[in-house]
Structure 1
């Protein structure tokens, strides 16, 4: 739809949405998209050196530009400091002020470890409630060892591609949490119809069977 906008004084595609738009909180840095981590407590993680600042925020513009560029964010204020997360690659995690952001899309990533930097750092994986995030059951020690070894090796696939291949990722979901040795955690989702994870990767047959076997143990207790 074409409209006459007061902020540009010319006819252009309708994209003026106002400063009160309800954005998902994301940012871009060095070509990587990061999402605000709103689940597990990030307090075990420490800030490293400062690496830059947010230079453009969509929420501060009635007519924001399309897409994101390095240094852009949806909700963060211009001037918000960005920091390394000690113990993790910058391509996997960033502090933006006092908020932890985790990589959600990295064009250079080939495996989930390239995206998340978790190899050698995982302590435990467990099922959690999709309603309130409460713990349901840890994997058994044997299953945990297999998951720790195989999960970081999975081939990373941008979610847009996974969504196209799986009819918008339809299917029942399991919610899971990967606890790190440093006490922090990453939440992931598993799709039972199309055995795959978010952050996005297809499960190997071994991991798919493992997840289903471990899930059954919840109801066997």
Structure 2
């Protein structure tokens, strides 16, 4: 997705941020999720009208009806040995070409030039991670994912789960080995309902930043909302999963003197 400043299609992102601000200063380990918006070019007859929107693109791509975001803070540049089969190719670059009326379609990418090859990543299902321009792109939305396990190809790959600061994203502490294992076992069977369904249930509150660390040294962030018992990845948690997260959070914060 993309975040279009001052454009109506992304007001839901701003509303989340403003609601959190209204609740007062956020604790470390608590924060609101970030999202993105939309953008494209308008054509009248044979003359393209300049896009007047101020657009901040998020580095994304879309193939096979799956949308991926560049995992910029939890991965490293991919080596040639990690490249799998070709799974797609960029056919349209949105940056400097698209405006707010653009409808995302297969072959779209925010910053990747036309012709950029998209590869599967060895060791992962392409529905979860792909590679383009030596960067890892991770699933943001997959309409065919029935469960979180379908969305996230991480079963048997997790090293640990940790808590992060909502102020600067710095690590606060790790879940215990047993709690990390149970977290994944509770998470993966959850029904994947998508972000829109979760957003309707989220009340104005700060989310809790969690990071899932994989055995290959990569990681990704998840945001959990306690009142809604929901993840922005598009799932509602079980009571046991909520209890596990909140208990580990308190233990980690106490150990950190917070």
TM-score, length of structure 2 as denominator length:
0.74
Q: Which residue of 1 aligns with 2:162?
A: 126
**Counterpart check, 1:149 vs 2:185:** yes
Gaps of 5+ in 1: none
Q: What CA RMSD, in Å, does the superposition of the two structures yield over aligned residues?
A: 2.7
Query: Given the alignment of the two structures, is residue 204 of structure 1 paired with residue 256 of structure 2, yes or no?
Result: no
Which residue does 1:189 correspond to in 2?
223
Map 1:43-192 to 2 at 5 A.
43=77, 46-61=82-97, 66-166=102-202, 170-192=204-226
Q: Assess if the C-alpha contact under 8 Å between 2:93 and 2:108 holds in 1.
A: yes
Relative distance call for 1:6 and 1:59 in structure 2 (3 A) is closer
Secondary structure at the aligned position of 2:188 is classed as helix
CA displacement at 1:211 relative to structure 2: 0.4
Instruction: Indicate yes or no: 2:73 matched with 1:39.
Output: yes
- Higher relative contact order, structure no. (Cα contacts within 8 Å, ≥ 6 residues apart): 2
Q: CA deviation at 1:44?
A: 7.3
Q: How does 1:6-21 map to 2 (within 5 A)?
A: 7-9=43-45, 16-17=50-51, 21=55
Are 1:24 and 2:58 matched, yes or no?
A: yes
Contact 2:85–2:120 under 8 Å retained in 1: yes
Do structure 1's residue 218 and structure 2's residue 252 form an aligned pair? Answer: yes
> What's the offset of the Cα at 1:141?
2.1
Deviation at 1:56, TM superposition (A): 0.9
What is the alpha-carbon distance in structure 2 between the residues aligned to residue 63 and residue 219 of structure 1? 44
Task: Count residues in correspondence.
Answer: 213
Q: Which deviations, in whole Å up to 9, do the C-alpha atoms of 1:5-56 show, x marking residues without a partner?
A: 99524899xx852697322222111011111212113357822222221001
Any conservation in 2 of the 1:143–1:210 contact (CA below 8 Å)? yes
Measure, in 2, the Cα distance between the counterparts of 1:189 and 1:161: 15
Classify the secondary structure of the residue corresponding to 1:91: coil
Q: How many Å separate the matches in 1 of 2:184 and 2:45?
A: 57
Please give the alpha-carbon distance, in whole angstroms, between the structure 1 residues aligned to 2:60 and 2:212.
22
